[in-house]
Structures are given as structure tokens and as C-alpha cells.
């Protein structure tokens, strides 16, 4: 028999034999206490055998556990994860990074970072959520010292949800504006006649698309900077409200509703990308755009920024360390093949990023050909690509209204899927910490409604005249060094505190009939988790701090003041400091010397595996999920005496 940490127990000792007899006779021992983290302390004597004339004491019935939801099928989980990972970053960030960092050469560091950091961390997060069947906070019963990692993930998800739905609000605005001919940002519109002249734009003039974005949508021309947000732009506020209502309705029934929505939201963007690639291939100048996108510059491989950009794109697109992956995996069946899912999702995500570049640069190449300028002058990243450069390029195509509607529908679907995952990370974490909400449909609906409404109220700051300045600040720091630190501690905690061998055994237990290739692949992942991945995460973290110190933050020509940049650093620090704050709390709750407190705080709680009891049925997992913090009457089982015997042996 093994104890809950996977260590062999001395079951053949006299104490072990007495324990087995005592457990079979349903003995009760008064006066034993459980430490605040739920562990049984070591005992110094064997319980006395119970005589036949003594009636067993009544055992209090355990509290009812609300059954955890599960995905309707494997396809729902796969599509949800693909939709979560394949987001706006695949369309507006990867193609720009590719051409800026040496074209096709960028694929070399990108795939190296994917194999060494992206795939191992992706598998770790999925496996942790699936095995523990719990959200980002509760899952750290496997190592209570690191509960702050889950709190930090919750903070990052909150910041991401706060600004990400603003992008969907912009998409709504553009989608509504696309139902008019000519498009309001095209040269054919009457309002833009003076700007375009004879249908062309001067080299030193702003394009109608840029004017529409800055004046009609953002209103940024009426703000002086971060300190001057100005009034709320109510058309955008209504679009933001509509976006949150859609999120609320799609998540109202939990994964039963969102799991059905992804059949549309996760597949539609692929259809649009295919159509855009085919359309772009027929345009004049498209080959120049593709050539600009992929032309290799081998000298860029020696630049550290290229490797940092590759790693940051992996984190940005896969959604690692935010808690969404962990939460979605927690609704899987225990025996789901998590290694297979990891390979499918990561390869699908990275392939999407690569092929999205063809859809983007083929049409941008046509726009550069029409304007008789180099492709580099029309290429952009972030909102500048999605809401300025690409809409302008679409406006030049025949049937521009149709292509515009199709493009912004694609952006809407991409944004909704990613926001589903982030919101799932928040709701799952809260519902696991307060299980009574999960069992009450009304209370759960009220909680979700209140959460969406609070996000809407906070998001109003980002739809003011100066909202784009706040948007850029949160976007720049919410998933920066704080996210890397959280991921680094997750990797170290699982590898060295929980135990990388035990974690690999957990994965094998989930897969059940693990084929031979599975064991070999796990050896590779084990090497990554222990050596390669932490080293590369430290490299990324060092580069981020150097770049953050030397590079000023700016949006367009506006340079952020020092207090604004300090505010952004505080956002990232707040997320990662949760690790240290809750580690101190976990250690302070234990007893003994500092070394003893630390050793106890990294030991899994007795309720760590209770969520998978029905799936596994192993004896060592039949433990009560409640956490007891005072002396009480304990019903001893085989597992309890095994743990006690093991501790006695270790003390001897």
C-alpha cells in the first residue's frame, strides 16, 4: 500500500497490523486533532482494540457533495480549449512579430519555445486541473504552500477580462458600422472626399480608417493622456453592455451551455480565414505581402529580443498561467487522455497563427500595391492592425461590405471564445471555494450576473475618450512579468514540492492504459519541468525586466508618465505577490519549528483526491473532504493508520 504522497508504508509492522484490525472493528479515538491544513499528526501509541460488547459510536454523516459538471463530450472540451487559445493574438500579433523578427526565421525560435516551454506547461496545467477536478485555487490542496498561485491566476484573469471585452465592444461597433455602403472608413464615403481627393491618400495624410478609429470610435483626440479620461462614450458603453449580456447568457448554464456555443464560435473563424486566404491569393500585390511576411533574415537569430518575442507569443496565445485551461480541464472525465489533447490543441493553435499570416499579409500586400508604398508601411500589430490597417485594406476590395462583416464576425468569435476561458477560470475558482453556490441555480445565476455587471462598471473607464490609454496600460502589464512569475512557481512547485515523479504517476493513472510511447514522452516532459522550462522562464523574466526598465511605454506619440508606468508595475506585482502572501499564511497555520511548518505546508491535504473518488475508487482516496480545525472524534480507516505508521517510521 502507498500513502497519499505515493511513498511505501511499513504495513507489515506490528503497528500496521494493529491499525488494520482496529479499522475493521470501526474503532473511534477521542482527543486526536487534525492540523489546520487537514493532516493527521503523528501518534505515539496504537489505539486499543475494541471489545465485542462495546457498541460502535455513531458516525456523523458527511456533508453532501454537489456533483461536479462534466463536458458533454470530448469534442466540446477540445473545441473550448482551441477556441480559448486561438484568439485575437493569433490574428493581430503573430504575423506582425513574424515579419518584424526575421520573417520565416522567426518560426525557428517560435517552435523551439513551443516545444520546450509551451507544450510542457500546457500539459502541466491541463493535468493538474483534470486530476484534481478543481479550479485554480482549490486545486492547490496538492501543495497548500502554493495556494497563492491560484489567487494570482484569479487576479490575472480579472485584469484580462476587464479589458478583453472592450475589444469585443469595439468589434460590435465596427460590425454595426459595416452594414452601410460605402463603408464609413473608405474613400468612397462622402465625409472622406476631402481627405482622399481623387480616391488616393497622400503620403503625409492620415487615412479615413485612422480618422474613424481615433475620432469616431475612441475619441482619443479629445483626451490629453492617462490623467484625462474624459466622459464615457455611450455608443461604446452600449456595445460593451451587449457584450457582457452575451457572455452572461452563454455561461448561464455553465459548461452545458458554453460547451454547445463553441461548436459555432470555435469553427467559424477557421472558415473565414480560409475564405480570406483564397480571396487574397487572387489580388494584385498579394505575393509581395506574403514574401514580406516570410522572407528570412538569418542574422535575427542572434538577437535576444527575437527569442523573447517567441516565448511571449507562446504564453499570449496558449493562455498559460491564467487559470482558464486548468478550470476547463477540471470538468473532464478522470480517464481523459490529457497528453493527446495537449498535442492536438497546441499544434492546432500554432498552425492557426502561421496560416493567419497569409490571410493578413496577402490583403495588406494588395493595399500596399494600390497605394504604391512598401508593405512595411501598412503593416501593424494589435488594435492598429484589426481596426485601422486591415479594415482599410478590405475597403479597397470589391464587395467591401461583405468582407468587412465577415472579418468583424470572425474577430467577435475569436474574442468570445477567449473570454469564455478567462471567465471560466474566475467562476470555477469561486464556485469551488463556495460549493453551496454550485448547488443552487438561482444563487449561481445571481453571482454570475453580479460578476458580469461589476466587470461592466469597471470597464466603463476603458470606453471614455482616454480609455485607450488605460487599455494599453492594463494590456501591457496584466500578462507581463507577473504571469511569468506565477508560471515559474507553478512549474517549480509541482516539480520539487509535490514531486515530479508523483505528478507523472498521476498522469499515468488518468490515462489508465498508457501505451509505451506515453511513458517515453513523459520522460521528456519530466526533463523539461525540472530543468529546461524553469531556465527559459528565468531568461524571459530577466529580459522583461531589462526591457521594462529601458523602454518607455507609449501609445502612438503619447509617452506614459512615470506614475502611470509605476501603476502598471503595481498591477503585475499584485498578481505575483499573492504567492508569497499566502505562503506565509500557510506556514503560520502550522505548528512546530519553521522547518516542520514548511514540510507540513507542502504536503497534500487529505481531501486532495476526493473529487475523483467515483472515477478511481482507490482505498487511499476515501477521505472526508471537510477541513477540521479543532479536536474531534475521528473514525479511523486503513489509510489513516498507514499514514500514522509511516510517520512513526520516519521519526524512528
Does residue 417 have a known ligand-binding role? yes
Contact criterion met (CB below 8 Å) for 322 and 129: no
Alpha helices, H only, 372-440: 383-384, 390-395, 400-433, 435-439
Could you list the beta-strand ranges (E) of 46-180.
none
The reply to whether 30 sits in an annotated binding site is no
Taking the C-alpha atoms of residue 44 and residue 41, their distance in angstroms, rounded to an integer, is: 10
Q: Return the closest-CA partner of residue 573 out of 464, 482, 461.
A: 482
Parallel/antiparallel/unpaired status of strands 558-559 and 554-555: antiparallel
C-alpha cell at 485: 512569475
- Is 83 known to sit in a ligand binding site? yes
Task: Please report where in the chains the cell 455608443 appears, as a residue.
Answer: 235
Question: For the CA atoms of 26, 27, 32, 37, what is the dihedral angle to 10 degrees?
Answer: -10
* CB 544, CB 480: distance < 8 Å: yes
Are the C-beta atoms of 300 and 101 separated by less than 8 Å?
yes
Instruction: Give the C-alpha separation, 364 to 182, whole Å.
Output: 20
Q: Report whether 86 belongs to an annotated binding site.
A: yes
| First-last CA distance in the chain | 20
Q: Is 317 annotated as a binding-site member?
A: yes
Q: Supply φ then ψ for residue 635, to 5 degrees.
A: -90, 115
Three-state SS at 585? helix
Contact by Cβ (8 Å): 520, 339: no
> Distance between CA 73 and CA 178 in Å, rounded?
37
Binding residues for Na(+): 83, 86, 90, 317, 349, 414, 417
Binding residues: 83, 86, 90, 317, 349, 414, 417
Amino acid at each position: 500500500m502507498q500513502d497519499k504522497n505515493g511513498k511505501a508504508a511499513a504495513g507489515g509492522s506490528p503497528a500496521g497490523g494493529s491499525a488494520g484490525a482496529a479499522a475493521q472493528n470501526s474503532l473511534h479515538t477521542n482527543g486526536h486533532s487534525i492540523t489546520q491544513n487537514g493532516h493527521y499528526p503523528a501518534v505515539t501509541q496504537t489505539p486499543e482494540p475494541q471489545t465485542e460488547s462495546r457498541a460502535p459510536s455513531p458516525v456523523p454523516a458527511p456533508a453532501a457533495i454537489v456533483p461536479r459538471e462534466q463536458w458533454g463530450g470530448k469534442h466540446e472540451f477540445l473545441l473550448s480549449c482551441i477556441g480559448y487559445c486561438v484568439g485575437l493574438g493569433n490574428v493581430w500579433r503573430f504575423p506582425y512579430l513574424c515579419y518584424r523578427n526575421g520573417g520565416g526565421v522567426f518560426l525557428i525560435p517560435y517552435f523551439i519555445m513551443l516545444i520546450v516551454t509551451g507544450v510542457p506547461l500546457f500539459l502541466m496545467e491541463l493535468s493538474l486541473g483534470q486530476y484534481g477536478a478543481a479550479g485554480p485555487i482549490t486545486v492547490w490542496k496538492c501543495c497548500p504552500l502554493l495556494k497563492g498561485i491560484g489567487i494570482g491566476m484569479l487576479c490575472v484573469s480579472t485584469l484580462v477580462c476587464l479589458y478583453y471585452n472592450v475589444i469585443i465592444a469595439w468589434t460590435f461597433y465596427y460590425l454595426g458600422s459595416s452594414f452601410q455602403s460605402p463603408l464609413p472608413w473608405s474613400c468612397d464615403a462622402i465625409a472622406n472626399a476631402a481627405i482622399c481627393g481623387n480616391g488616393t491618400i497622400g503620403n503625409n495624410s492620415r487615412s479615413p480608417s485612422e480618422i474613424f478609429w481615433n475620432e469616431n470610435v475612441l475619441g482619443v483626440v479629445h483626451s490629453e493622456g492617462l490623467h484625462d479620461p474624459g466622459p464615457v462614450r455611450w455608443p461604446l458603453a452600449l456595445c460593451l453592455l451587449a457584450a457582457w449580456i452575451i457572455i452572461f447568457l452563454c455561461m448561464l448554464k455553465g459548461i452545458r451551455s458554453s460547451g454547445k456555443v463553441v461548436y459555432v464560435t470555435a469553427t467559424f473563424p477557421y472558415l473565414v480565414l480560409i475564405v480570406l486566404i483564397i480571396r487574397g491569393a487572387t489580388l494584385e500585390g498579394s505575393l509581395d505581402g506574403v514574401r514580406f511576411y516570410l522572407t528570412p533574415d538569418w542574422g535575427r537569430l542572434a538577437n535576444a529580443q527575437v527569442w523573447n518575442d517567441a516565448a511571449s507569443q507562446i504564453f499570449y496565445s496558449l493562455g498559460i498561467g491564467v487559470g482558464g485551461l486548468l478550470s476547463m480541464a477540471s470538468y473532464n472525465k478522470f480517464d481523459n487522455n490529457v497528453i493527446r489533447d495537449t498535442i492536438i490543441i497546441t499544434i492546432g493553435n500554432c498552425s492557426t497563427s502561421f496560416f493567419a499570416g497569409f490571410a493578413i499579409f496577402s490583403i495588406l500586400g494588395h493595399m500596399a500595391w494600390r497605394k504604391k508604398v512598401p508593405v512595411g508601411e501598412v503593416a501593424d500589430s494589435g488594435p492598429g492592425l484589426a481596426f485601422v490597417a486591415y479594415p482599410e485594406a478590405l475597403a479597397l476590395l470589391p464587395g467591401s461590405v461583405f468582407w468587412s462583416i465577415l472579418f468583424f464576425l470572425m474577430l467577435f468569435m475569436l474574442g468570445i471564445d477567449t473570454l469564455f476561458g478567462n471567465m471560466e477560470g474566475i467562476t470555477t475558482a469561486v464556485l469551488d471555494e463556495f460549493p453551496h453556490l454550485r448547488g443552487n441555480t438561482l444563487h449561481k445565476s445571481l453571482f454570475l450576473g453580479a460578476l458580469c455587471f461589476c466587470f461592466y462598471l469597471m470597464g466603463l473607464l476603458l470606453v471614455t475618450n482616454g480609455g485607450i490609454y488605460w487599455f494599453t496600460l492594463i494590456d501591457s502589464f496584466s500578462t507581463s512579468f507577473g504571469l511569468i512569475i506565477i508560471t515559474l512557481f507553478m512549474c517549480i512547485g509541482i516539480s520539487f514540492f509535490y514531486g515530479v515523479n508523483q505528478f507523472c504517476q498521476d498522469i499515468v493513472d488518468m490515462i489508465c492504459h498508457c501505451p509505451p510511447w506515453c511513458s517515453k514522452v513523459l520522460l521528456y516532459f519530466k526533463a523539461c519541468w525540472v530543468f529546461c522550462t524553469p531556465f527559459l522562464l528565468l531568461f524571459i523574466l530577466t529580459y522583461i525586466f531589462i526591457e521594462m526598465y529601458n523602454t518607455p511605454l507609449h501609445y502612438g506619440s503619447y509617452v506614459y508618465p512615470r506614475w502611470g508606468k509605476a501603476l502598471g508595475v503595481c498591477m503585475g506585482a499584485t498578481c505575483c505577490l499573492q504567492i508569497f502572501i499566502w505562503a506565509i499564511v500557510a506556514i503560520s497555520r502550522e505548528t512546530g519549528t519553521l522547518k516542520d511548518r514548511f514540510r507540513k505546508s507542502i504536503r497534500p491535504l487529505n481531501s486532495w483526491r476526493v473529487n475523483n473518488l467515483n472515477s478511481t475508487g482507490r482505498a487511499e482516496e476515501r477521505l472526508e473532504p471537510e477541513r477540521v480545525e479543532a479536536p474531534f472524534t475521528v473514525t479511523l480507516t486503513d489509510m489513516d493508520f498507514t499514514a500514522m505508521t509511516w510517520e512513526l517510521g520516519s521519526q524512528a
